[in-house]
Structure 1
């Protein structure tokens, strides 16, 4: 509650002021107001903690010398003077009236002389020290009545002058106007105080150091974190910025001169690295100062680690980078180079590739190499949800939207991915009826929760993946063409493992060592024959299948070196397939006579026909031909069908 003091020049005024202050329109405003009478002007004292003073006349001069707070002055109005003259005429037959005071703000005051048909003289006083001399002068010049403020009246009484002395009293209307001004001023003071407290709390709760330097290069604000970052420096508020932080002067002056924002200027102070931002404050095109934000780099790194940890717990964190993609093949090197270019922009990406080729690994790598790397990475397998659940999962839902909806509702994956990347795996499995809803979100960049009315703006990059030909699906009416255009802005085909056989050795050795450490098994390398046999396998399940096979080998191998027999058993090769030579002649039968004639006579055209009939299901083709799957893929390899 603001503390207010109303100074009254004569005691009779106090109850009038209190009555006006207690009006309902000022409820609570003047609850902490005191009304004080001061017999002598220079005895006037303003108590400590006072926020606002209301006074009139020459007492204002004394108050200004002793008080730096807000002051509301009660003006002397023309009607107040007229009332004082009328009182004078009632009590005396005066011939000449002297009006003593400073009435420079009143127009045509001399016209009152003709109004009352009386000799009327104004004696102007510039400061309170002139009051007594001016009273004496007025009397010497023949004034037989004086009208003035309370201080001139007291001077007449003190000196025993034999003249009428009337006090100009404020009307209730003038006092009311002053109280209205005081109430408005108090309201503004409260608002400004709240704003300043808000800014103070904001500055103190920012984890960075925050300094405001005014246009005279003086530090106006420095929050507590500045002292934490620079513990050996004294409080800097009020000092010159260049004097306090000379090592920042060059960039500070550059930002001042160019009126341009400078980001992440790096300095080392003591044993700490800091990053500093310089932000010029421009109001109405004029430079008003500089906001300087100081980041403790070590603390930023800790905070980033904490955020990443929490995102990881929520499953909203991309852990893979391009350096995690094990390869040496030129085709894969080209894929990575292309993906790195995609990471530099924000366009949507569509990744094509068979099952197990590492589509999500590449998607995470693109995210982590992009400007969105500090944002969430949210992944969803579109084939895992029926349409009704898919909508609530992606768009979220409000409380009560459906039976079982959690209290308070739930944000969807689009909202969770705001500022980051949403990975739509197996996007080809989206129901056609749902594709239109997804298209609208991608077009409008906003989402509405199920059962909700509020629209939420989103900033999300889409990376989609599929193992099917979406263009063919659009021709078959299974995928919307307009949605395909939204997703397929940048496209990235991933080669199957059989098209990058140079990478099989690297991958197999990597996984073997990984499982050795995980399972504490003995196998830690492949013999050349074993690796040759493994490298000849078609891996229709791609890297995922290779990883499973190496895991099986790691568990079953009996020695540190993985042998051919270990690979054969893990691949499930039969007695016939063990006749395959591994010394550079994989796929060649040692004894052609040992192979049944019907196997040797199977033609390429027959295999091609069966592949089409069986939907390229090689296990079914092998069953119809009476072959095991491994024999089939070797024949297909010879015929160029892989």
Structure 2
């Protein structure tokens, strides 16, 4: 409830004011109002918790020096003055009346002197200190009656002047007008207070420092975060903004002058770096104040990292590391060592490999070994989207950009991958018409959402993957050469499974144990001949195909051991009509081992010179030599016999 103080100019007015305040039209408004009378003007005191003062005349001058709140002035009406003059004529035979006051309608009263058949002299004063001098002057100039306020009347009595002194009394109409003005002002104050409280609650629930400065450059709101950012500078409502934050004056005045928003103005304080926004508040083209947002850049960076972490929790993270890549072949070890080197830099990487070779596994491992490991890992299969959806998926879109657009818009994968890695699988399937848009984003390192105007800076590492010959596609006009150069800064070639046969047994046993646990099945190991059959299979689908075959075996084999017959059945080798590829049988050289342009690596691995070198390196341990060559011991003996090494 607002606290109001009504200062009456003379005590006889107290019951009149109280009666009017109690009228039904003011119900509930002046409940917490006090009515006070101070005989000595300079003794006027206003309580600290007072919200509004009602007073008149010279008292207002004194009150304004001691009270910064709202003041309603009780009007002196023309009829009040006429009534005082009539009372003077009734009580005296005065010839010259002096009217003393600062009332704006005093001069108009002088023109009414002919109506009263008497001489009026108006003495207008500017401040209370002139009252006594003006009273003396009026008497010296022959005034035999004075009409004024209560303070001039007290001066006459105090000095014992022998003149009539009448007080201009307030009519009920004048008092009611003052009360109406006060009621209206109180209503506005309540509304403004509710709005300010709403703003305060909003301000306290934002993580940044927030200050609202009114059009008189006074701080109206400063949330708790401002005190946290500036522990030695706690702004208080009512103080001047420039006084409290002088180092922001230049940009503050610029925003005030130009009525334009200033974004991310950087200041370096003793303890931290801050970013400050200045937003003018304009209502119907009228400047009403300034909203100043202050952000601790260090906390902003921490918050961004937390957001990225939450994005990771939503699935935008890399699951695998280099240690998860099951292998023992030298060729795969070479790929991994090369990839580890790539992880130490931020250059784009292009990964080549047939389907099912584990390109994304390698991409995730590079990400998790890099400095971006705490950032998001975002993957997209470029073949999964038509061009129009691909653009909105990668770049995002604003609300209303197209029919069905999510309210509020959506961040694209580039934005989601900020400070992390974006994996573009099957990059060869990008439409040529879209490749130019992607190239621009990679060059400028910024993205604009579909239907938007704002440009968003991004820091994203690109790892792209393909199972096609992009240089050949360039010749055919299916891939942009400049995009290839942008992607192919570093490159990896993942060997197919048929070129790393040493890894087949390890992978098969890993998958078998995995599915045993997952499906609660029996099979947990292979016979030697079963492994030999798997190692002789060409696996055009690579690791993905091997995994599917082992999953099939895990379900169909009913005991702990997987035999060669089980593998033959799973591979469809018993049905010549469905056998998809040539297979190595005991005593038979599979086509994949023959010297042919299709498999130069394995043609080299079974040459005599290689076998001789491995025998020496392994101390003539034929089992170890066979393991390194990815063949069984029987096959090695047979090959050595043909080479004349036995």
Structure 2 vs 1, CA of residues 368 and 351 (structure 1 numbering), >3 Å: closer, same or farther? Answer: closer
Conserved in 2, the CA contact under 8 Å of 1:530 and 1:562? no
Q: After superposition, what is the alpha-carbon deviation per residue over 1:253-306, rounded to whole angstroms, capped at 9, x for unaligned? A: 999999665459799997x9x784534437459895743333623244335545
Alignment of structure 1 residues 43-54 onto 2, 5 Å: 43-54=43-54
Residue 539 (structure 2) aligns with = 535
Q: After superposition, what is the alpha-carbon deviation per residue over 1:208-254, rounded to whole angstroms, capped at 9, x for unaligned? A: 344568999998765323444566x44366698899798x9999999
**Whole-angstrom CA distance in 1 between matches of 2:590 and 2:274:** 59
Q: Larger deviation: 528-537 or 100-109?
A: 528-537
Deviation at 1:150, TM superposition (A): 1.1
Deviation at 1:60, TM superposition (A): 1.0
Q: After superposition, what is the alpha-carbon deviation per residue over 1:161-191, rounded to whole angstroms, capped at 9, x for unaligned? A: 3332211111222212211211122122222
Residue 551 (structure 2) aligns with = 551
Structure 2 vs 1, CA of residues 365 and 585 (structure 1 numbering), >3 Å: closer, same or farther? Answer: farther
Q: Larger deviation: 155-164 or 254-263?
A: 254-263
Q: After superposition, what is the alpha-carbon deviation per residue over 1:516-546, rounded to whole angstroms, capped at 9, x for unaligned? A: 56867679x9979635525147x9xx96x76
Alignment of structure 1 residues 172-571 onto 2, 5 Å: 172-210=172-210, 222-228=222-228, 233-235=232-234, 261-262=262-263, 276=275, 278-281=277-280, 283=282, 284=285, 288=290, 290-294=292-296, 296=299, 297-303=301-307, 305-306=309-310, 309=313, 312=314, 328-329=352-353, 359=384, 370-371=395-396, 444-445=403-404, 457=407, 459=409, 530=534, 533=537, 535-536=539-540, 547-552=547-552, 567-571=567-571
> 1:581 aligned to 2:580?
no
Q: After superposition, what is the alpha-carbon deviation per residue over 1:384-440, rounded to whole angstroms, capped at 9, x for unaligned? A: xxxxxxxxxxxxxxxxxxxxxxxxxxxxxxxxxx98xxxxxxxxxxxxxxxxxxxxx
Residue 71 (structure 1) aligns with = 71
Residue 122 (structure 2) aligns with = 122
> 1:28 aligned to 2:34?
no
Task: Give the secondary-structure state (helix, strand or coil) at the position aligned to 2:108.
Answer: coil
**Whole-angstrom CA distance in 1 between matches of 2:121 and 2:257:** 60
**Whole-angstrom CA distance in 1 between matches of 2:563 and 2:167:** 120
Conserved in 2, the CA contact under 8 Å of 1:321 and 1:364? no
Q: After superposition, what is the alpha-carbon deviation per residue over 1:539-562, rounded to whole angstroms, capped at 9, x for unaligned? A: 9xx96x76433434578999xx99
Task: Give the secondary-structure state (helix, strand or coil) at the position aligned to 2:49.
Answer: coil
Deviation at 1:88, TM superposition (A): 1.5
Residue 149 (structure 1) aligns with = 149
Conserved in 1, the CA contact under 8 Å of 2:582 and 2:591? no
> 1:139 aligned to 2:139?
yes
Deviation at 1:111, TM superposition (A): 0.8
Residue 383 (structure 1) aligns with = none
Structure 2 vs 1, CA of residues 299 and 16 (structure 1 numbering), >3 Å: closer, same or farther? Answer: same
Task: Give the secondary-structure state (helix, strand or coil) at the position aligned to 1:9.
Answer: coil
State the number of aligned residues. 446
Task: Give the secondary-structure state (helix, strand or coil) at the position aligned to 2:121.
Answer: strand
TM-score of the aligned structures, taking structure 1 as reference length: 0.54
**Whole-angstrom CA distance in 2 between matches of 1:107 and 1:13:** 26
**Whole-angstrom CA distance in 2 between matches of 1:251 and 1:321:** 47
Q: After superposition, what is the alpha-carbon deviation per residue over 1:591-622, rounded to whole angstroms, capped at 9, x for unaligned? A: xxxxxxxxxxxxxxxxxxxxxxxxxxxxxxxx
Conserved in 1, the CA contact under 8 Å of 2:211 and 2:222? yes
**Whole-angstrom CA distance in 2 between matches of 1:249 and 1:546:** 70
**Whole-angstrom CA distance in 2 between matches of 1:462 and 1:178:** 62
Q: After superposition, what is the alpha-carbon deviation per residue over 1:483-502, rounded to whole angstroms, capped at 9, x for unaligned? A: xxxxxxxxxxx999xxx997
